[in-house]
Amino acid sequence: MQLRQNDKEFEFVAKAEKAIAADLARVDEIALQNQAKVLDAFHAHNVGQRHFAQTNGYGYDDIGRDTLAAVFADAFGAESAVVSPQIVSGTHALTAALFGLLRPGDVLLSVSGEPYDTLKEAIVGKDIGSLADLGVVYRSVALKDGDFDVQAIKEEFKQRIKVVFVGRSRGYEWRDALSIEQIERLCKLVKSLQDDVIVMCDNCYGEFVDTLEPVQVGADIMAGSLIKNPGGGIAPTGGYICGKKELVRQATFRLTSPSIGCEVGSYAYGYREFYQGFFLAPHVTAQAIKTSMLFGAAFDMLGYQTMPRTGAVCRDIIRSIKFNTEDELTAFVRAIQSASPVDGNVTPFAWDMPGYEDQVIMAAGTFVAGASIELSADSPIRKPYIAYLQGGLTYEHRKIALANCLKTLNLIH
């Protein structure tokens, strides 16, 4: 990259960092509280070397699998959890939960607008075995000024609703992620309208960003991916579902088989990386939030629009940056790739990514393929030209990556 510590780009990074010093300190306090919760969960279940062992076959009485789920449940404040390498993505985890909870004729209401592309296909896609194919009714209510549209939601409850779906992050939208406080108010609202409604939260990119998780403020069930926040950059694959015991149980019937649930499921490579990744997750997540703040401060100082705004509390690990042209957007994504430890010599191009409406360009020079807790950036090629930056394993690496972006775009004169 031909960058030196005394280059003008690094001097600018230091200036941006100084401007947000107090905000960075608050992130460390959140990480400390979350680290304590995770450590307590490890101690509560006496995690030892025996839990890391390989298993095979059906995996009956797999102590590593079952204890890992119990640790997740305790740390997240849930009654129950399933954590599995067989969950291939966040979309898979969410889909397993939705298919487990909904039956033909039931109504699914999304109150945070339309889900992101791949999940929406699982809900309303035609002739692919989607929820709509199976007779589930889907409706959505858009957010209003970045918050839930209370009146519109109340109107929807004139009909019985089985599941209310909340997407905590923002997908490819120009808006802030939802806060824990907003989710808590939403849960109280819908429970007052129908006490047996199930609130389900897509928690991807939101784990350990705050000191509380959605299931601790009224959500009944939530799900996410292990190659995002809770995997700590070490988990090689997998996902989780956690919440009320019976709801998690229903989800496991779709994850494996209605007659089996999570009584089975082995992993021949052992569970150490999942435990170790979860232990590191509060710290790694804090590093990602610091990166978001630093990139936001720097690009804000240069006159670009970013989301969330400088000085605001980060509600997930994603930083949205609005660029002026497609070329500028592409150059930014390529600069992130060139600053990556893996495939730093690769030049990303936009392509027809499965499940997405527009071509997508993606920088992902990661140790775990596609891991968005590692430094990455992606964007659909459409107006407005917004890059979605997330992750990174060390804050120091991200400072170098930011300086590389500034140099590549020739922004410091």
SS3 272: helix
Q: What whole-number distance in Å separates Cα of residue 307 and Cα of residue 357?
A: 23
Segment 139-189, tens digit of pLDDT: 999 999 999 999 999 999 999 999 999 999 988 889 999 999 999 999 999
Domain ranges of the chain: 8-34+280-408, 54-277
Segment 266-291, tens digit of pLDDT: 999 999 999 999 999 999 999 999 99
Greatest Cα pair distance, the chain, in angstroms, is: 65
pLDDT score, position 311: 86
pLDDT score, position 353: 81
Contact present, 278 and 51 (Cβ < 8 Å) = no
Segment 242-262, tens digit of pLDDT: 999 999 999 999 999 999 999
Segment 305-342, tens digit of pLDDT: 999 998 899 999 999 999 999 999 999 999 999 999 99
Write down the CATH number for the domain with range 8-34+280-408. Answer: 3.90.1150.60
The answer on pLDDT for 1 being more than 60 is no
Q: What whole-number distance in Å separates Cα of residue 390 and Cα of residue 393?
A: 10
pLDDT score, position 358: 87
H or E segment and range at residue 305: strand 305-307
The answer on pLDDT for 377 being more than 60 is yes
- Considering only CA atoms, which of 145, 149, 176 is closest in space to residue 164? 149
Using 50, 70 and 90 to split pLDDT, how confident is the model at 6? low
The answer on pLDDT for 371 being more than 60 is yes
Q: Which amino acid makes up residue 24?
A: L
Q: Detail the DSSP E strand segments found in 58-185.
A: 80-84, 107-110, 137-140, 163-167
pLDDT score, position 365: 94
Using 50, 70 and 90 to split pLDDT, how confident is the model at 88? very high
Q: What whole-number distance in Å separates Cα of residue 157 and Cα of residue 352?
A: 38
Mean local confidence (pLDDT), 52-56: 97
Q: What whole-number distance in Å separates Cα of residue 402 and Cα of residue 27?
A: 19
Residue for token pair 């690990």: 317
pLDDT score, position 254: 96
Contact present, 106 and 98 (Cβ < 8 Å) = no
Give yes or no on whether 8-34+280-408 and 54-277 have one common fold. Answer: no
Check: CATH 1.10.260.40 for 54-277?
Answer: no
Q: What whole-number distance in Å separates Cα of residue 339 and Cα of residue 334?
A: 9
pLDDT score, position 117: 84
Using 50, 70 and 90 to split pLDDT, how confident is the model at 98? very high
